[in-house]
Amino acid sequence: MIGLEPLLVSPTSLTEAYTLLAPTHGADDGAGPWRPIAGGTDVMVQLAAAAGEAESSTAETPSGPGRLLDLWGLDELRGIGLSEDGRELVLGALTTYTEIRRSPLCATHLPALAEAAATIGAAQIQNRGTLGGNVVNASPAGDTLPVLLAADARIVLGSARGERSVAAVDFWPAYRRTVRADDELVLRLRIPLPTRREMRFRKVGTRRAQAISKVVVALAWREDGGVWRDVRLAFGSVAATPIRAHETEAVLEGAAPRQTVADHAVAVLGRELQPIDDIRSTAAYRSAVAGRVLHRLLRDAGGW
Amino acid sequence: MSIDVVVNGERAALDVPGSRRLLDVLREDLGLTGTKEGCGEGECGACSVLVDGAVVDSCLVPVAQVAGRSVRTVEGLAGPGGRLSVLQRAFLETGGAQCGICTPGMLIAGVAFLESGAAATDEAIREAIAGNLCRCTGYTKIVEAIALAAERGAGPDAGAGHEAGAGAEDAGADESAGPDDGAEPTYPPGSR
């Protein structure tokens, strides 16, 4: 069993959550910042690990989060819909992977996100894990994050101070870091829906379910008179954060998916990506696979 | 803090810290030790339970999040008198249970799948239990058990996955009964 049972508070409205998170209720009472928790698929694992450390250490103070802000009851943060002008897909932060997989709107407008959701964990995780959680957990291996990057998603944060929206490309400044302030919550994701955008998603892991990615890729473009425009190439698990491969994108921008273009893009990608060795894979494998996956996606798109 | 929840059809008012794992509350506070802890980090599925019909890993659920909801564990699968469900009997018949540690979670994942009404193809069944690890069976017999239960009508219209129709209740000896000497297996053993 778990030895540490931190205080958990379940606000019933966003306003109540904002009040709890406001700095006057924050660090000055010695309890430290609130740790928001949604489906628990990351936070509960981290709590268990902290409890294990506390049991095996002689330290007086455990390292786990002092208190949890339970978001699960905030229905304001659920739901998938279109913006009023119909130009954006809007997903509440508490949208689960199961809900994404079942959503007709996602199937129509952003099937790559549904594909990504289907590769995360298995039924147990998909029923609980949330899109907002994937975003704030800020793992470089978060499987939806390359899709969000390739889709030019914006992440809407809210607090008692108001709301702001941050482009996905600016959201993860460093390993496991986000630009979210302690008093802010991720409220929703806004994904623009340009006409004729195509997107492809690939995840490479040890098995189809329950695997953490070795490499995860999302590629988006709009075809315009035989060439590609607005190319977005995003990767997970190959850097300290989810990233876009801007140099490789530049090779593909304004080009057509021909073999010579693909060869060149892969060569540039090989120089651009600087993955590392870790417990899940090696830098060499990740580089090789990233290039192969890109080549294959271009070949499929070009029909050669 | 009191947390009201329905577990296997019975109301419970729990006076426990809200961040306590549902798994621990089930096992230690409610004595429902059928749900097992394997990895404790959402990888193995041994602690799977149904919350409002959806399969979840109970090691990852703070108990506060099941307030007002309905939880079903492996103890809730058997019918009146401990009559095993169609799926449980199918596990016995195909040899889908060996050491038993994964079995409660496999049954729960199987129930979630059968109650979804999805077509019981090999691929769909394998996806449905992809979050449950088994180190004994090689999975084949578990997949066969779920397919067999689907074939016998354990689906969304069969209520709790018990014998379809009331006939089974009064039929006495049933040709498709368990693997032993004709006595129908029950849970707990000998509970009839």
Q: Give the pLDDT score at A227.
A: 97
- Nearest Cα residue to A214 out of A119, A297, A149: A119
Q: In this model, does residue A63 exceed pLDDT 80?
A: no
Mean pLDDT value across residues A46-54: 84
ipTM above 0.90, yes or no: yes
B59 in contact with chain A, both atoms CB, cutoff 8 A: yes
At residue A163, the 3 state secondary structure works out as strand
Q: What is the pLDDT of residues B129-183, one digit of tens each?
A: 999 999 999 999 999 999 999 999 887 865 444 544 433 444 344 444 444 455 6
pTM: 0.91
Q: In this model, does residue A59 exceed pLDDT 60?
A: no
Q: In this model, does residue A23 exceed pLDDT 90?
A: no
CA distance A21 to A25: 6
Q: Do B24 and A2 touch (CB under 8 A)?
A: yes
CA distance A80 to B127: 25
Mean pLDDT value across residues A182-193: 97
Average pLDDT, chain A: 93
Mean pLDDT value across residues A177-205: 96
Pairing type for strands A185-192 and A88-92 reads antiparallel
Using a CB-CB cut-off of 8 Å, the residues of chain A touching B123 are none
Cα maximum dimension of chain B: 50
Mean pLDDT value across residues A112-116: 98
Q: In this model, does residue B51 exceed pLDDT 90?
A: yes
Q: Do A128 and B57 touch (CB under 8 A)?
A: yes
**Rounded to 5 degrees, what are φ and ψ at B80?**
-55, 140
> Which residues, numbered 117 to 146 in chain B, qualify as contacts with chain A under a Cβ-Cβ cut-off of 8 Å?
127-132
Mean pLDDT value across residues A1-24: 86
Q: Which of A5-9, A51-55, A198-202 has the lowest mean pLDDT?
A: A51-55
Residue B138 burial (CB count, 10 A)? 10
Say what angle helices B103-116 and B140-151 make with each other, to 10 degrees: 40
Per-residue burial over A34-55, b if 16 or more Cβ lie within 10 Å, else e, is bbbbbbbbbbbbbbbebbeebe
Closest Cα of chain A to B61: distance in Å? Answer: 6
Q: What is the pLDDT of residues B53-107, one digit of tens each?
A: 999 999 999 999 999 999 999 999 999 999 999 999 999 999 999 999 999 999 9
Mean pLDDT value across residues A116-144: 97
Nearest CA in chain A to B57: A124
Q: Give the pLDDT score at B183.
A: 67
Q: Give the pLDDT score at B71.
A: 98
Q: Give the pLDDT score at B1.
A: 63
Q: Give the pLDDT score at A2.
A: 46
Bond from prior residue into B188 cis (ω within 30 degrees of 0): yes
Mean pLDDT value across residues A95-104: 98
Residue A241 contacts residue A263 (beta carbons within 8 Å)? no
Contacts of A210 (CB under 8 A, 6+ apart): A121, A122, A125, B43, B130, B131
B35 in contact with chain A, both atoms CB, cutoff 8 A: no
Mean pLDDT value across residues A230-245: 97
CA distance A229 to A255: 8
- Nearest Cα residue to A90 out of A188, A163, A166: A188
Using a CB-CB cut-off of 8 Å, the residues of chain B touching A6 are 19
Q: Give the pLDDT score at A90.
A: 98
DSSP letters for B93-158: HHT--SS-SSHHHHHHHHHHHHHHT----HHHHHHHTTT---SSS-SHHHHHHHHHHHHTT-STTS
B40 in contact with chain A, both atoms CB, cutoff 8 A: yes
Q: Give the pLDDT score at A164.
A: 98
CA distance B192 to B185: 9
**Residue A258 corresponds to which tokens in the numbers above?**
């021909």
Closest Cα of chain A to B145: distance in Å? Answer: 19
Q: Sheet holding A162-167: strands in order across? A: A80-82, A88-92, A185-192, A154-159, A162-167
Q: In this model, does residue A243 exceed pLDDT 70?
A: yes
Q: Do A37 and B20 touch (CB under 8 A)?
A: no
B81 in contact with chain A, both atoms CB, cutoff 8 A: no
CA distance B93 to B91: 6
Question: How much of chain A, in percent, has pLDDT values that exceed 90?
Answer: 84
**Residue B64 corresponds to which tokens in the numbers above?**
């506060």
**Residue A105 corresponds to which tokens in the numbers above?**
């709107």
Cβ-nearest to A124 among B17, B19, B55: B55
Q: Give the pLDDT score at A132.
A: 98
Q: Give the pLDDT score at A210.
A: 85
B102 in contact with chain A, both atoms CB, cutoff 8 A: no
Q: In this model, does residue A130 exceed pLDDT 50?
A: yes
Q: What's CA A121's distance to the chain center, in Å?
A: 14
Interface test with A, best of B15, B22, B39, B65 (most A CBs within 10 A): B65
